[in-house]
Structure 1
């Protein structure tokens, strides 16, 4: 039996995929949308069936739930199930189903949750297991409910569910929470540093305003006082950015000197978001007068944890 103590992502996820396996089943105590996004979009033929075991006793957040739904809709390669029974499931199991010419399934058990900490940051152990026995576990999976169930709130309580139902006019519930808890935060100006009455002509919110570019492409400029700290994860490490109006995006730090906050799958996502919020036609140049009319020239970003951030542009 092989035991893996390091390079878990490579050994448990990437290598089996590169050898042709495509259908992955996961039982995990905890999961993170950012890590799931990295796997799902980085391995563009993988299908993932995930079971999260601690959701009744340590509920997931409503924005994590929304991210799972969004990824499932975008890829059609994801299903997620939440445990609602009496005894929480703290197991961590990986099971690659038999496909095509494979002689057998492939299974691992150990200590790694399906998160970036579990597979990258922390010291965890995963060991090969009998695939027949593991397959039987999935055949008799127990009290889990599909994340698309129409009455899911009768089975699962999501953290901050009621808070996020408050209207933008009344103020975001999560926004109040991050401010009350005094999470670390910075302001991110959307105008030029040397002259706050000027906006970037071909960068920032107007990154796409140049020939042969998608005109909505945009990024949030990261000030030097931020990119010289450990406020954000390392470059290209994905994290979830939740907004005060209830949207969420998978983001990365990018570009030279880590100067930009981008959406990795499509750089126009942020540009479309800001244009809609500023009431600027899609594809149009964003002017400083548009920010004047809206009443704000910066966003404030709060760090909830290494994989979750909150952006206030209220």
Structure 2
């Protein structure tokens, strides 16, 4: 038996590689984590327990269908008669349950790639246990869940369409329009000058890589981030939550980033991102324990490409050069000057940057 508080994703993938059958139940998930496990080719059944047959957002559902259709070894199932918040990873060999991980971590990038001590999984290994009783009871639990689950292709599942955003007029000194939905925020890619005119950032936002002394000289596109204003923090506390001012990665390095989150874009693109930077200390500047993020950008450290991934993606959508400095006219021509960011579940968001169709 082992208690795991770091490198959880690595442990899950190691167990998956040594198995000939995988069963996972978690309350929440991210499609990219499901896809990564499925691509290993091992027969894999995933049960998700906290959505219900009519609550899953359509962009997330569509992505799951695509992943399901691309991996013949994968079976995706909804627990549909009750809510199940379990986090249970079971690994079989020759039809027998050999190892299990149970604890707090969802099957998501956010859950399995969190900083040390944020999540926990306890390993129950058949070779180390004096009795098989724990594994037997887990296997029986799986059978009970199977009885109350349906396949993702079942017509009873009706994905929830995202509501059309009705922009509310700005009030007083407001810089951004209100989406009317506490889980969806309008994220401008521009700033407003003292005369009320829209202007893009010279060396920030979509043009982050244009700043002097930028060290990302070997990137294949200009770096970009999505700005988070203090007004966003006030209006959308569920979307933009604080994180500890002193954070260490699992490798022991200091970081100014949050745990990674998964963002599904309106065109189906799936991106690992992190909330970054700092603004507004909590509870006070004099005694900061938590800080709020200043921006959202690409955040998979393994690629060492940072914000260039987001910058390249946005520019490709806009049909401009990867190093083009984006202007207000560019945004007008594209047909959209903001990104609509929507919270779906812990560690999972959707982003809408749909503009004028590209020709």
TM-score bucket (shorter structure)? 0.5 to 0.7
In structure 1, the gaps of 5 or more residues are 164-172
What pairs with 1:1-314 in structure 2 (closer than 5 Å)?
9-10=5-6, 13=8, 16=11, 21-23=15-17, 25-28=22-25, 30-33=27-30, 36=33, 49-52=44-47, 54=49, 58-59=53-54, 60-68=56-64, 79-83=74-78, 92-97=87-92, 105-108=98-101, 114=107, 128=124, 130=132, 133=136, 152-154=153-155, 157-160=157-160, 163=161, 173-176=162-165, 182-192=181-191, 194=193, 196-208=197-209, 211-226=217-232, 230=237, 231-233=239-241, 234=243, 235-243=257-265, 249-255=271-277, 257=279, 258-265=293-300, 267-303=307-343, 305-313=345-353
Using the size of structure 2 for normalisation, the TM-score is: 0.55
Cα deviation digits, residues 10-45 of structure 1 (max 9, x gap): 49x468459x544373432522217947x959xx98
Q: Write the distance in 2 (CA, Å) between the matches of 1:118 and 1:212.
A: 30
Using the size of structure 1 for normalisation, the TM-score is: 0.61
- Report how far residue 51 of structure 1 moved: 1.9
Aligned to 2:289: none
Distance 1:119 1:30, change over 3 A: farther
Secondary structure at the counterpart of residue 163 of structure 2: helix
Distance 1:94 1:246, change over 3 A: closer
The number of residues matched between the two structures is 284
Q: Write the distance in 1 (CA, Å) between the matches of 2:73 and 2:296.
A: 26
In structure 2, the gaps of 5 or more residues are 126-131, 168-177, 211-215, 244-256, 280-292, 355-359
- Flag the structure with higher helix content: 1
Q: Write the distance in 1 (CA, Å) between the matches of 2:185 and 2:146.
A: 45
